[in-house]
Amino acid sequence: MRILAIDDEQDILTLIQKALRGQYQVDTVLFPSQPLPEDLTVYQLILMDVMMPGQGGFDLLPQIRDRVDCPIIFLSAKALEEDIVYGLSIGADDYLRKPFSVPELRARIAAHVRREHREAAGIVLRDEEVLLYPKENLIKVKGEAVHLTRSEFEIASLLLRQKGQVFSKGQIYELIYGFDKDGDESAITEHIKNLRRKLKQHGIEPIETVWGMGYKWKKQM
Q: Do 10 and 46 share a structural domain?
A: yes
Q: Do 138 and 44 share a structural domain?
A: no
End-to-end alpha-carbon separation of the chain, Å? 45
Domain with residue 44: its CATH number is: 3.40.50.2300
Q: Do 129 and 111 share a structural domain?
A: no
Which of these three, 57, 86, 117, is where a domain ends? 117
Residues 57 and 50: beta-carbon distance below 8 Å: yes
* Cα–Cα distance for residue pair 159/162, rounded to 1 Å: 5
Q: Do 210 and 132 share a structural domain?
A: yes
pLDDT given for residue 215 in this prediction? 94
pLDDT digits over 65-103, tens only? 878 878 899 998 887 888 888 888 888 888 998 888 899
* Cα–Cα distance for residue pair 154/134, rounded to 1 Å: 9
Q: Do 132 and 212 share a structural domain?
A: yes
pLDDT given for residue 3 in this prediction? 95
Q: Do 135 and 112 share a structural domain?
A: no
Which of these three, 85, 117, 149, is where a domain ends? 117
Comparison of pLDDT for 81 and 202, the residue scoring more = 202
* Cα–Cα distance for residue pair 103/95, rounded to 1 Å: 15
Residues 38 and 15: beta-carbon distance below 8 Å: no
Q: Is 74 left (phi over 0), alpha (psi -120 to 50) or beta?
A: beta
Residues 98 and 77: beta-carbon distance below 8 Å: yes
Q: Do 79 and 151 share a structural domain?
A: no
Q: Do 19 and 58 share a structural domain?
A: yes
Residues 21 and 39: beta-carbon distance below 8 Å: no
Q: Do 111 and 9 share a structural domain?
A: yes
**Is residue 7 scored above 90 in pLDDT?**
yes
Which of these three, 64, 87, 117, is where a domain ends? 117
Q: Do 86 and 14 share a structural domain?
A: yes
pLDDT digits over 118-165, tens only? 544 455 677 878 888 876 778 888 888 888 888 888 899 889 888 888
The total domain count for the chain is 2
Q: Do 132 and 88 share a structural domain?
A: no
**Helix spans in the chain (H):** 10-20, 57-65, 81-89, 102-117, 150-161, 169-177, 184-201
Domain that holds residue 181: 125-217
**Helix spans in 40-125 (H):** 57-65, 81-89, 102-117
Burial 10-45 (b: 16+ CB within 10 A, else e): eebbebbbebbeeebebbbbebeeeebeeebeebbb
pLDDT given for residue 84 in this prediction? 85
